[in-house]
Amino acid sequence: MISLYRYGWAGLFWIAASAWAAPEGTKTNSATQAEEGRYRSALLFANVVELIRDEYLDIEKTDYDKMTYAALRGLLSSLDPHSQFLDPENYKLIRTETEGQFGGLGISIGLLENQLTINVPIEGGPAYRAGLLPGDRIVKIDGAGTQKLTLGEAIRKLRGRPGGVVKLTVYRPSETRTMEVSVVREMIQVPTITDVGLLSENTTRGEKIGYLRVTQFGEKTGHEFDAALSRLEAQGAVALILDLRDNPGGLVDAAVEVVSRFVPKDTLVVATEGRKATAERVEYLSRACTRRIKLPTVVLVNGNTASAAEIVAGALQDLGKAVIVGETTFGKGSVQTVQRLDLSVTPDVGVRLTTAHYTTPSRKKIHGVGIEPDITARLTRGEEQSIYRQRSPGLQKSGLPVVEIQDEPLDRAVDLLRGWKVVARRSYPTR
């Protein structure tokens, strides 16, 4: 890596020109073209920087570091919403996140129509308790507009020391209104599996259908999943509904752990593929488990089912272990790696760069495509938010009435499992 700090901009010209002016015939045409492109780009960038240094009005904004960091932020963010240049402060934050010592609001966010949008508030987290909903658009953070923020910059503003208050200005499209919400940062440690139990007999017409919802995939999901299954088995469940709606994902290892409960050891669950396809292919195989699920299973998904949750849905679908019901999932299946840039200077800087994408066992790409359900069943945005509100203890305490809501995907799942059991009974009559 060339150090601008060591050579300066004039040095960069010399280095680029030297590389470009290599003896003819020593390089292939493609290599020569690449060197020419590198030289032109370096020369253009350096000329613009020096022009700014010489003539821009506000000299405080012409510091070499500041201009270089700003240019690199724009470059990385132009690639995709997940790639990011990590200046010293951001690089330090990334290392802190890896060590798990940070506070947050408990939300998954993304850019929708170039607007900062809440994908899913993590159930039980501070944003969830404050009443924020999927689809809410964050207009301001602590009074400052978000229109020009990259996704990485927004995450940085939202995260910080536990106990700190973040003031959000939020626009809710479904209600065409803007509201102010104050949320206190917390260490996000909430159960990943909730609502474990048998569905009501009125819903299932007497069949004992077990239900559990995975809100995210974390380090404890495998253990929580086993505990939930033990509870359902004790209640006599003969079928299972696994609800992954509004699940923003989490740890890939946790997703592999869950799929491992359905398939034999060393079954392909998911793979990553980089630019060189098979040369950089990494496979994630199922682990040995003492528990094996053999119940007929339906997985519920929607447009907010993302990342690790899509890995689970895609694997169970491909491997024939579950029927997927709902809507096409979010389509977040890319792999980001954090790489430190060795500039022989301090402090450290780096990049978070998209380097690969996930594929299902049948090698279907997830990113930008999502998992297509086997059976399509939709809810309106209003129905989704009504169901979400009833799951929110903060909103229930505010006096909002709990009303019966039609949940078509859940009804379709129940009908499917009831039919499954009827066919099984008719196929194997009692003699």
Give the number of C-alpha atoms closer than 13 A to the C-alpha of residue 187, restricted to the C-beta side: 5
Question: Cα–Cα distance between 228 and 261 in angstroms, integer?
Answer: 12
Helix (H) or strand (E) holding 18: helix 4-20
Q: Which residue of the set 332, 334, 392, 407 is catalytic? A: 332
Q: Is residue 218 within 8 Å of 161, Cβ to Cβ?
A: no
CB atoms within 10 A of CB 207: 18
Pseudo-torsion of CA 342, 343, 346, 349, nearest 10°?
-60
Q: At what angle do helices 221-234 and 252-260 cross, to 10 degrees?
A: 30
Q: Which candidate in 108, 286, 307, 392 is catalytic?
A: 307
- In the three-class reduction of DSSP (H, G, I as helix; E, B as strand; rest coil), residue 75 is classed as helix
HSE of 339 in the Cβ direction (CA atoms, 13 Å)?
13
321 classed as catalytic:
no
> In terms of Cα–Cα distance, which of 129, 134, 158 is closest to 146?
158
C-alpha to C-alpha distances, 207 to 237, 240, 413, nearest whole angstrom: 8, 11, 13
Please report, in angstroms and rounded to a whole number, the separation of the first and last CA atoms in the chain: 77
Measured torsion, CA atoms of residues 383, 387, 392, 396, in degrees rounded to the nearest 10: 80
Is 318 annotated in the active site?
yes
Return the half-sphere exposure (C-beta side, CA atoms, 13 A cut-off) of residue 257.
Answer: 16
Rounded Cα distance, 315 and 310, in Å: 8
Which uninterrupted H or E stretch holds 278?
strand 277-285
Strand-pair partners of 299: 242, 324
- Cα–Cα nearest to 154, from 165, 163, 142: 142
Distance of CA 119 to the CA centre of its chain: 9
Catalytic choice (318, 321, 334, 407) = 318
Quick check: is 266 catalytic?
no
> Of 10, 37, 12, whose CA–CA distance to 343 is shortest?
12
Active-site positions read 307, 318, 332
